[in-house]
Structure 1
Amino acid sequence: MNLPDMTVLDLLLTYEAIDDELLRRRIQEKRGEAVGGYTERLVCLALKLRRMDLDHEGFDAIDEGLPGQVIRYQIKGRRDIKDKNPLLSSIGDYQQGKRPFDFLVGVVFGKNFHIRRAAKIEYDDLWNLNELLSTKNGRQLKLTNGLMRKKGVQDITNILTPHRESVS
């Protein structure tokens, strides 16, 4: 196995197998963090966004497509191989007058990093969804099939899927 010659998807599939085995052996308590980075790169590639450095709190990418307008995106990904309705990681709490991002993009991956669901939700619509739950980790969105049909939720699964193997 020559890692430099492998595609990003091949590396992720190898990582997935290692991650599963470490979990089975109880070396780790939860799955690793590679999913987040891959999700950000995938969304940026598919939606033509510019990925931001870690020092930009509250958003992960921006769209500068329109002159004089910057649209901020918070991007969340979750690998869920048990076919449940996973919770995305914490998105923080709504604060009147404070708008850290304009859109949330949530992506759920199944086995082999198959994109099961991907949603784009405008900031103001997000806070009215029943699937946005208060947990000990803050506000978390449950990315269900039903959510994909709600007002203000755009299903972008078919937009992301063609780019799955193109992430570098």
Structure 2
Amino acid sequence: MKQLFLIFALAVLPLSVYAATADKELKAQIGKCESKYKSDKTKKTDCIKKVKKAAKNTDKASANKANIDKKAESAKSDLSKADKSKSDKVKAATASSVTTKKALKAVNVNSASAKQLAESLPGVGDKKAQAIIDYRKKNGKFKSAADLEKVPGLGQKSVAGMKKYLKF
């Protein structure tokens, strides 16, 4: 009787302690081993070892997957930061163009400075404004909007968009 109790204590108690800390699925699998091999201690022990080994391998696989997920999340976060930076640049560019549009007003292209041209005419930035000044110095005053089309970098469409803001 003492031997039977000792075998029971050695076989069942460690299992119950382990089962208390293991997750539900592992408990269920160990329970299946115990019920399937009630009378055969060797087979029961082998079955439980296989279940524990499988659980250990699953834990390793889960840890590897968690590492991969963590790296993927980090990469996603880096991309998100890059997208935010790009978005901020686009917003800044849009804000500056909106500011330029608000300052649109009629300007005399024969007497205005490059800064005044850039601030007052739609589609004209610092470079195009300087091109207008350079053309004016070289070829004389502008008489009409058609004369502005001869400035390098300005075409029919851009001049048509600024016609209502031109004075001669």
> What is the TM-score of this pair, normalised by structure 1?
0.24
Question: Which structure is higher in helix share?
Answer: 2
- Structure scoring higher RCO (CA < 8 A, sep ≥ 6) equals 1
> What is the TM-score of this pair, normalised by structure 2?
0.24
Larger radius of gyration: 2
Question: Which structure is higher in strand share?
Answer: 1
